[in-house]
Amino acid sequence: MSSGELLLILLVAIVVFGPNKLPMLAEHLGKLFRHFNHFKQRAMVFWQEQLNEQQLRENTRKAEKVDALYQINKENTETSPDPERHKKEDESVD
């Protein structure tokens, strides 16, 4: 807002509410803005927490999936024969 617009709003407020009620009006507007900013801050914190929880659930799901694949791979490598081990055993026999 430009200074001209603010001056026009102030003049309209003086005409509508009168000069005696302007301090009270300013006080109430200040309280209203403080409450609004407090509400806005709380809402932002709430939604950020919700997003963080969602991201944590997603990361946990991905980690569990990767861990399951790792366990399957680990079991498969433990049960399958190691060609390098057999090759070393054959060389030691010669």
Chain segment 19-39, per-residue pLDDT in tens: 888 889 889 989 999 999 999
Q: Domain ranges for the chain, please list them.
A: 3-93
75 to 21, 35, 68: CA distances (angstroms)? 80, 59, 11
Q: Which amino acid is at 22?
A: L
22 neighbors 13 (Cβ within 8 angstroms): yes
- Report field, pTM of the whole predicted structure over 0.75: no
pLDDT at residue 6 is higher than 70: yes
What tokens appear for 14 in the block?
């003086």
